[in-house]
Structure 1
Amino acid sequence: MWRDEAATWQVARRSTADIWHLLDQVDAVHGLYYLLMHALFSCFGPGTTTLRLPSVLAVAVAAGCVTVIGARLAGNPAGMGAGLALGLLPAVQFHLQEGRPYALVMAGTAVSTLLLVVLLERPASWWWAAYGVTVLLCGLLNWLALLVLVAHAVTLCWTRAGRGTWVRWASASGAAVAGTAPLILFSRHQSEQISWIPPLTWHMLIGPAILLAIGTLGAVLDRPLPGRPSLASVALPLLAVPLLALTGISLIKPLFLDRYVLFGQLGLTLLIGTALGRAIAATAPRFPRTARLILPLALLSALGALLPYSLAKRAPESRVDDVLSAADRVHHLKHPGDAVLFIPAARRDTALVSPDAFVGLRDIALAETPLASGTLKGVEAEPSRIRTAIRRSDRILLVTDAPGVAKRDSARRDKAKRATLRRYFRAVADETVRGRRVTVYERLPAPVRGAAPRSCPADQGAGSSGADRSR
């Protein structure tokens, strides 16, 4: 369980009232998802299966939807190829197995796109209502999912939809946007929590450019069925518009994370299915037996080529850190009555997810618990009080990030913790496990207290030297 899943875990285990209290302070954009996971934890009990199974089922729903879309617009081979390919896409493999809302957004987008395809052929009022509700739910899970409406507008232009279709689509879309608007406006006050996202650079666009090139090739190969919209008119906007829109937004405010537009992968998989369908259709007249082998051989080849990646993404080392492993090290290194510190304070998630591992330890920097403060990491005391609490302790466990993950200390409280430990304590144990670090400090003997500050291995990676910064 890594840090993002740890947030889901600890919030979902709070009461509904406590979740609302939290959302007033932070993470309002994930409010619906947290409430959903709270309901599932209440029904089935907290566990990693309950945490992650919704994402797995969501990708299964998305795969079923793209299969139906591909079959309706480009034939059964294209639909089957698209549905089977979805689970092989690297980005989808990463997110289908973790407890975060992005796979659910992709499933909702797939359902809304299927509804749009059906409505282009057979308009029905209640289906337009279902379309609007589905888009609204996607927006409440992640309001950037509303970019799918821009993609669908491009599809309507491409297919030259009639005036009545445009009016009904605009009504359903307007209702979805209006329902999401309060969340968008409120979450702007919490924009500080995404301040860590780096500015957009050209090398961040290499991957998206490759995906767009592959998708464009699939669109060129598309051959619409008689009386049906072309698959390219649905799939290419779904792939390209969210990526390009997020890129444009990120030029103004750094916001470029591929998981925010994971649902665009639906367009890519549909275009891959189109290419497979065209290959089968071109081969079938002269080599019917060979044509039947194209789809299974292509998918088996892709599976074989991606197998090392797939296995790597299912290993604990695939995430930036591991909350549970760090808690296990604390459990083995602690002594009764020890104090514990966290740098940064967000690493307190280790204790929140595995409280049993911290039984007997004193969190000497904490002034107000996460539950009482309505936050994810609690409220810590002023630096002067933290210094005093550290100097009154004889043995302290420090939970922080591993050197390859750690960022330079920026908060005054964290600088005070590090400086006081360096001056009055020495590291007697130091263990790094999967992106997290647990260091045991013991007080220096009294005669040595007036000596110059000593460095120790635990200070490496704190960003205090030029070598550390370059690393």
Structure 2
Amino acid sequence: MPVAEHVPAAVARTVSPPAPARRRNPGPATAVVVIAPWSLTIALGLWGIRRQNTLWGDESVTYLLAHRDLSQIWLTAQHVDLVHALYYAVMHELYGLFGGGLLTLRLPSVLAMSVAASGVGLVGLRLAGPRAGLLAGLVFPLLPQVQKYAQEGRSYAMVCALVTWATHALVTGVPHRARWRWAVYGSTMLLACLLHEFAVLALVAHGVTLVVSRVPRPVLKAWSAAAVGVVAGLLPPAICSAGQSGQVAWIDGPVRLRYLLIVAVVGVACARVPLGVRGPVRLSALAVPILVLPGLLLLIASLVKPLFVDRYVLYSNIGIALLLGARMDYFHRRQRSSRNAWLAAVAVLAALVPPSVSLRTPQSRSNDVTAIAAAVRKEGRPGDGLLYLSGRQRILTAANPEDTRFLTDLALAQDPVSSNTLAGVELPAREIAARMLAFDRIVVVRAAGAHSLTSPQEQAKTSTLRRHFRAYGTTHVHGARVTVYVREHDP
């Protein structure tokens, strides 16, 4: 007789295997982690998106090149800005669909950053749970640097979104060796690098994450194959763009390094407590490298040639958002009362209000090309000469051609479009000086903080002004000064 028949029913009920635990449906939590950060980023992005209907210099370059034909964009990229050529092509297509206004210029960045915020939330959910993921996704769009570039008509928000989702593909692909997962990771990273080459520094951070996490060898081999593919795809445009390094000659030292230093210190401090043990890698092992390494590598490269600009590693904000979100979740779990947490959150939000308002003014950028062009229109008279002390400064008014229509550009030999350049081709120095002497009034534009004028054309302009003209009046606008010079005729 089977032994089971001698077991009393009560005992049988006691020793019988328990019913499998009911698994909670992660769907609602995932939806909140995706939608809440996305919605907050959209709201912040739309707030003051027109920035008083002004442009700044880099955005005016996007505006001008995106209005050119694709063939012209490609020809221009042979001379300058190859690193942004793909972005200009994307914006050209968007202009063709939705028109070429300010909203079309900036909305793609708002949408890209909102997608990045959702991706940050999902990475946090994967590595530290729903609450940490939600908090990380909500912190991300509140960061001042994220708010700034979410409203800028440049490629950096798109690059940040792609790196974020490549990071998500990394943490979801670590437990697996399926080729398609790593193909998604590699193609996403490659697209980010083609939009801006310095996205490749995130690839280095991902590699460090995997090594520190001691992932299985097959996973490391799969990542290595994807990384080799990314580098191979990036290498040809990177070699070509290396010949255009003169366009970053304006960088004479680290630009806005303080922000990165502050968030790096805060992030490392947050990582000192145990954060998130749910995923295939520790959250701190992912977040700290992507926060610190790209900027550090760019600073090291700057010892040879100055290259560090904060926006080039905008995606580093992924790391600080994840660390802050996980740290707040840790704090919430350790505190019996959430009163202090709420007070701290309100204090932080109140502190963010002034910089958030400031970022939506023209003064938050290094110049205001709309104001510069308006000053030229105001000071100039029909028939006056127009002179840019540096030819590259022609882009300061190029987006507003109506403001300079009645003036004669004294140095221009070939316009930017026909020459497939950003600022056109200038005449030889002697011809510029001769043309200047044919005018009694010249409106001169010089960018604030401009580099020393060393080319023959630039020296001819300044020496002719000094010898034969006197300054009649100067208008200072954000990022430049506009001076009217009057000819002093010999007695």
Q: How does 1:74-223 map to 2 (within 5 A)?
A: 74-199=128-253, 207-223=259-275
| Structure 2 residue identity aligned to 1:388 | A
CA deviation map 1:304-333 (0-9, x unaligned) = 102111111211112121111111122222
Partner of 1:375: 421
Q: CA contact under 8 A between 1:325 and 1:434: conserved in structure 2? A: yes
Q: Alignment partner of 1:220: what SS?
A: coil
Distance 1:92 1:222 in 2: 26
Q: CA contact under 8 A between 1:75 and 1:277: conserved in structure 2? A: no
Distance 1:177 1:145 in 2: 11
Q: Alignment partner of 1:397: what SS?
A: strand
Shift of 1:412: 2.2
Partner of 1:459: none
Q: Alignment partner of 1:251: what SS?
A: coil
CA radius of gyration, larger in: 2
Partner of 1:270: 322
Deviates more, 1:297-306 or 1:157-166: 297-306
Distance 1:119 1:299 in 2: 34
Structure 1 residues 385 and 240: alpha-carbon distance in aligned structure 2, compared to 1, 3 A threshold: same
Structure 2 residue 382 is the aligned partner of structure 1 residue 330: no
Structure 2 residue 458 is the aligned partner of structure 1 residue 431: no
Distance 1:237 1:369 in 2: 46
| Structure 1 residue identity aligned to 2:302 | S
Unaligned runs of 5+ in 1: 448-471
Distance 2:410 2:275 in 1: 67
| Structure 1 residue identity aligned to 2:485 | Y
Partner of 1:229: 281
CA deviation map 1:17-48 (0-9, x unaligned) = 11111100011111111111111111111111
Structure 1 residues 44 and 135: alpha-carbon distance in aligned structure 2, compared to 1, 3 A threshold: same
Partner of 2:395: 349
Shift of 1:116: 0.7
Distance 2:384 2:261 in 1: 52
Distance 2:286 2:456 in 1: 51
CA-based RMSD of the aligned residues comes to 1.9
Q: Report the count of equivalent residues.
A: 437
Structure 2 residue 79 is the aligned partner of structure 1 residue 25: yes
Distance 2:402 2:278 in 1: 64
Deviates more, 1:105-114 or 1:72-81: 72-81
Partner of 1:255: 307
Partner of 2:459: 415
Q: CA contact under 8 A between 2:124 and 2:134: conserved in structure 1? A: yes
Structure 1 residues 320 and 209: alpha-carbon distance in aligned structure 2, compared to 1, 3 A threshold: closer
Q: CA contact under 8 A between 1:222 and 1:274: conserved in structure 2? A: no
Distance 1:112 1:37 in 2: 22
Q: TM-score, normalised by structure 2?
A: 0.85
Partner of 1:450: none
Structure 2 residue 349 is the aligned partner of structure 1 residue 303: yes
Structure 2 residue 110 is the aligned partner of structure 1 residue 56: yes
CA deviation map 1:417-442 (0-9, x unaligned) = 12212222233332111122222222
Structure 1 residues 98 and 399: alpha-carbon distance in aligned structure 2, compared to 1, 3 A threshold: same
Shift of 1:175: 1.2
Shift of 1:52: 1.2
Q: Alignment partner of 1:99: what SS?
A: coil
Shift of 1:299: 3.9
Structure 1 residues 107 and 337: alpha-carbon distance in aligned structure 2, compared to 1, 3 A threshold: same
Q: CA contact under 8 A between 1:344 and 1:414: conserved in structure 2? A: yes
Distance 2:471 2:399 in 1: 26
Q: Alignment partner of 1:438: what SS?
A: strand
Distance 2:475 2:106 in 1: 29
Q: CA contact under 8 A between 2:287 and 2:319: conserved in structure 1? A: yes
Shift of 1:122: 4.4
Structure 2 residue 447 is the aligned partner of structure 1 residue 393: no
| Structure 2 residue identity aligned to 1:89 | L
Q: Alignment partner of 2:486: what SS?
A: strand
Q: CA contact under 8 A between 2:166 and 2:188: conserved in structure 1? A: yes
Deviates more, 1:247-256 or 1:387-396: 247-256
Shift of 1:206: 5.2
Partner of 2:8: none
Shift of 1:207: 4.5
Distance 1:223 1:437 in 2: 51
CA deviation map 1:284-311 (0-9, x unaligned) = xx33xx27x83x6544322210211111
| Structure 2 residue identity aligned to 1:352 | A
Distance 1:189 1:360 in 2: 37
Q: Alignment partner of 1:408: what SS?
A: coil
Structure 1 residues 273 and 95: alpha-carbon distance in aligned structure 2, compared to 1, 3 A threshold: same
Shift of 1:271: 0.4
Distance 1:92 1:351 in 2: 28
CA deviation map 1:378-413 (0-9, x unaligned) = 1111111011000011221112224xx344322221
Partner of 2:486: 442
CA deviation map 1:94-120 (0-9, x unaligned) = 222111111111111100001111112
Shift of 1:167: 2.0
Q: CA contact under 8 A between 1:222 and 1:231: conserved in structure 2? A: no
Distance 1:329 1:206 in 2: 33
| Structure 2 residue identity aligned to 1:321 | N
Distance 1:280 1:128 in 2: 35
User: Percent identity at matched positions?
Assistant: 41
Distance 1:197 1:445 in 2: 40
Distance 2:108 2:482 in 1: 32
Partner of 1:5: 59
Distance 2:278 2:96 in 1: 50
Partner of 2:89: 35
Distance 2:291 2:450 in 1: 34
Distance 1:193 1:226 in 2: 45
Partner of 1:243: 295
| Structure 2 residue identity aligned to 1:23 | A
| Structure 1 residue identity aligned to 2:479 | G
Structure 1 residues 398 and 229: alpha-carbon distance in aligned structure 2, compared to 1, 3 A threshold: same
Distance 2:133 2:286 in 1: 13
